[in-house]
């Protein structure tokens, strides 16, 4: 038994190491490739503080490095969040936004960006515009989560909570559509641009704020590992062990808001990653234990999100594909594979 466990640990270590190496390679390529391709020698010189051309330092430290850090944080956050949602609802197609968090963030941004035309509200401009979008998105996501937390006391089953979250998302989406109908073309364009998702444009202070929100969410997710493993056996089994389902549900919802809500606020609603990555991690490790899956999902999500950002850059071109377009091209085949496998298994 001990030898078998040792073999499993060695195999897991090898897989972790392979994903980590892939992440490192993708990160380096992301820094090299873009509208301007940076030679590896100049990249190394800039990173180590040696003498490098000014344009290389400007591109790396003002644009590409902040963008890569944002992509890493988003990949870890959305993937770990998706894993918890799939376990909590016992639904392989659950994602970070299934409870309406994405729609709540979208409603906050819609009110901020398009409120002047729809309701005669004033919006911030100039240097405060991007920060205002992030703040309004996070407020919308937190507001939806607060409503769900209040309702969760009366809803005993996770399936009922799931349906309630879907209904909340539908209502907020309807309100967003109504606001769009009365908005001006320039405001509508700004809102649609936000919905496409982007890792560009975040200042160092915004990245720090995003990090300070994501890190506690990851810590809380790690704290939830024991309860997540129990939930794998179903709610009846969890109750028989004396698990406080409502407290566990609250912690997962808070972690979801910190992770998905914060990324959505700063980067826009990025789809499919939260659904697809946990399944990719399960395929790699062939294990349902969250002690294995949480770090595996975080590492895999970071690698895939950096790859997504690298593809979106279109090396050698001056324009960038929206992140949501690339994430859909990566995530949809995985989702179709999950559906087909479950149908014919």
Closest CA to 71 of 222, 218, 268, 220: 268
Question: How many domains does the chain divide into?
Answer: 1
Tell me the mean pLDDT in the region 41-64: 91
Encoded tokens for 8: 């499993």
- Asked if residue 60 is part of any domain, the answer here is yes
Range in 145-149, 185-189, 286-290, 315-319 the model is least confident about: 315-319
Dist. CA 309–CA 305, nearest whole Å: 6
Each residue's pLDDT tens digit, 137-182: 888 888 888 888 788 777 767 778 888 888 888 899 899 988 888 8
Closest CA to 284 of 270, 305, 298: 298
Question: How many Å from the N-terminal Cα to the C-terminal Cα in the chain?
Answer: 30
Closest CA to 42 of 34, 31, 280: 31
Tell me the mean pLDDT in the region 55-72: 94
Do the beta carbons of residue 19 and residue 301 sit within 8 Å? no
Encoded tokens for 216: 């506690």
For the chain, give the mean pLDDT: 85
Residue 152: domain span: 2-319
Dist. CA 8–CA 285, nearest whole Å: 10
CATH of the domain at 168: 1.10.3470.10
Band (21; pLDDT cuts 50, 70, 90)? very high
**Which CA distances in Å does 215 have to 10, 137, 303?**
28, 19, 18
- Asked if residue 332 is part of any domain, the answer here is no
DSSP percent split of the chain into helix, strand, coil, nearest 5: 80, 0, 20
- Asked if residue 325 is part of any domain, the answer here is no
Dist. CA 63–CA 203, nearest whole Å: 9
- Asked if residue 344 is part of any domain, the answer here is no
Give me the phi and psi of 199, to 5 degrees please. -105, 0
Dist. CA 322–CA 196, nearest whole Å: 5
- Asked if residue 338 is part of any domain, the answer here is no
Q: How many CA atoms lie within 13 A of 200 on its CB side?
A: 17
Dist. CA 246–CA 229, nearest whole Å: 16
Do the beta carbons of residue 117 and residue 183 sit within 8 Å? yes
- Asked if residue 168 is part of any domain, the answer here is yes
What pLDDT is recorded for position 118?
Answer: 55
- Asked if residue 29 is part of any domain, the answer here is yes
More confident residue, 342 or 89: 89
Share of the chain above pLDDT 90, in %: 37
Tell me the mean pLDDT in the region 302-325: 87
Closest CA to 342 of 270, 273, 274, 282: 282
- Asked if residue 327 is part of any domain, the answer here is no
């Amino acid at each position: 038994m001990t030898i078998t466990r040792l073999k499993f640990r060695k195999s897991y270590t090898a897989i972790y190491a392979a994903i980590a190496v892939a992440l490192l390679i993708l990160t380096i390529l992301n820094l090299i490739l873009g509208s301007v391709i940076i030679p590896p020698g100049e990249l190394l010189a800039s990173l180590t503080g040696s003498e490098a051309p000014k344009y290389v330092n400007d591109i790396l430290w003002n644009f590409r490095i902040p963008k890569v850090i944002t992509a890493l944080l988003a990949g870890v956050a959305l993937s770990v969040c998706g894993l918890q949602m799939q376990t909590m609802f016992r639904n392989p197609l659950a994602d970070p936004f299934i409870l309406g968090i994405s729609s709540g963030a979208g409603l906050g941004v819609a009110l901020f960006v398009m409120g002047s035309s729809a309701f005669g509200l004033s919006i911030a401009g100039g240097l405060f515009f991007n920060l205002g979008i992030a703040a309004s998105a996070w407020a919308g996501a937190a507001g939806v989560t607060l409503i769900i937390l209040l309702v969760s006391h009366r809803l005993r089953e996770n399936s009922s909570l799931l349906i309630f979250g879907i209904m909340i998302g539908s209502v907020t989406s309807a309100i967003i559509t109504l606001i769009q109908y009365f908005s001006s073309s320039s405001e509508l364009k700004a809102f649609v641009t936000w919905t496409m998702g982007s890792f560009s444009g975040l200042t160092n202070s915004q990245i720090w704020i995003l990090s300070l929100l994501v890190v506690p969410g990851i810590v809380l997710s790690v704290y939830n590992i024991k309860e997540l493993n129990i939930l794998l056996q179903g709610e009846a089994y969890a109750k028989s062990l004396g698990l406080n389902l409502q407290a566990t549900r609250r912690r997962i919802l808070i972690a979801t808001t910190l992770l998905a809500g914060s990324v959505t606020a700063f980067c826009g609603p990025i789809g499919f990653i939260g659904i697809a990555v946990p399944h990719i991690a399960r395929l790699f490790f062939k294990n349902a234990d969250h002690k294995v899956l949480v770090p595996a999902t975080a590492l895999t999500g970071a690698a895939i999100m950096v790859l997504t950002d690298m593809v979106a850059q279109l090396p050698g071109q001056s324009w960038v594909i929206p992140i949501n377009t690339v994430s859909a091209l990566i995530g949809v085949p995985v989702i179709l594979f999950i559906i087909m496998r479950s149908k014919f298994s």
